[in-house]
Structure 1
Amino acid sequence: MTTPQWNPAQYLRHAGHRLRPFTDLLARVPDPPGARPRVADLGCGPGNATALLAARWPTAHITGYDNSPEMLDRAHTEHEGPTDGGGRLDFAPADARTWTPDEPCDVLVSNATLQWVPGHLDRFADWTAALNPGGTFAFQVPDNTDAPLHALMRDLADTPRWKSRLAGVLRRPDSVHTPGVYLDRLARFGLATDVWQTTYQHVLTGEDPVLDWVKGTGLRPALTTLADDPEARDAFLAEYRDLLRTAYPSAPYGTVLPFRRLFAVAVREV
């Protein structure tokens, strides 16, 4: 899989839809003990979701971590600084494949990131070991690699025209595990664990909105690979666009994008 180059502006074009799963996740995260919790957001992106953590825990010291300079620049510019409750929101570079907390955490969250981290199950031991008593590890990931959105992209990349350029570039179908696998792994650490799935019916508007959506996320590895060949990039996008138009037909009120996500909340007992 190619490490994608991220475009914060493209990602944020559907910010309302993308934030909804994170707010649903936070609704299930208990408040940590202590007046000034330490909170980490792994894979913070442009920081708009991290800012919700500051609204939830205004006295906390919250750090968002990401490996994209473009995303961190946006986060620093728009969200970093003191919070209304006397806490602080800051951001730092980190790679989820190797990052380990350098101090105990009260809340460690990850929003739509772990699907990009091969072997992320093996990172759970280090991350959960850093939780203070009463602390929580919570994450959500897209759980729809079998949906047309991704299946058509992979099938197109595997055609003779594109295989030599895009073989092995896109996320694999097994980049996210089943709910039972996550439950078993986290519960074996002695954490009280809740895992569930939700399928959102996003109603998107505008011209080719499903293509516009995926250009901010799942399509990024292909766009990064073809960035030095604009003609090839545009040809691939045109072929993929036509496939998406058939798979996700428009209606008078917009285009429906069914999108399944997987959630997990694991709490260390006090």
Structure 2
Amino acid sequence: MPLFVAIKRFQRKIQNLNLPLAKKISKQNKKYINIRHQSLLMRKLGDCDMQLQKNKITNIQIAIKKLDGLIIHPGEVFSFWDRVGKPTYKKGYLDGILISKGKVEVGVGGGLCQLSNLLYWMFLHTQVEILERHRHSFDIFPDSGRVLPFGSGATVFYNYVDLKIKNTLNYPIQIKLRTTENHLKGQLRSDFPKTEKIHISEDVHTFIKYQEKRRRYNIISKTITNNKTKTTEKILLIENICPIQYPISEQALKEKNYSYITI
């Protein structure tokens, strides 16, 4: 392990000591499903070995055991890595796809980003506070069955690249997760129905070519509509721009109605 990684991991452990981290697991489901989402488990990622995708499913299933049923009380902080812990072969984790500094690598526990992506997407549909979230600095693979906006995920790397949220609601929320034959499925539940409708939208999406370098750019917003008063509030969530590492397909541009600008 590189020295700087060891230092960062130690520093993060010290930082987390002062946080009111969510720890309680409950097998009893909260009454209301406030948000649900699912993602396809097997997807083609460039020319990567599909066995790594199968290994990813095993890794996700192991991590789910540490997350399913977690109760996040008001004022508590959810930390992905505090709950999941360090992925190791001894725990049953397998080699999967890892992305580091724009390169595809293979390593133990690879593929857990699909789990953190799903959790982040569900958290965006609530009024919790996002304390920490990271995204990849490169777009490595062309879209394959994409249903969510580009750049709306949350990458994780043990333990200092984390997904953290604080429950700023006045009631507990519960994480529910499971896998089926084809999908990773998740819910956020509570004892109260939602009082608002939240919609995440992609307002701008374009590819840019500048000095022979290609980049992808988009803007993602969050619109909150009060169920009772019907008043709305729109918030800028994310502005993404990053280099891409694949050819741009004219057919894909037409299918998605994306623009391509040369500067």
TM-score by length of 1: 0.29
TM-score by length of 2: 0.29
> Quick check: which one's strand share is greater?
2
> Quick check: which one's helix share is greater?
1
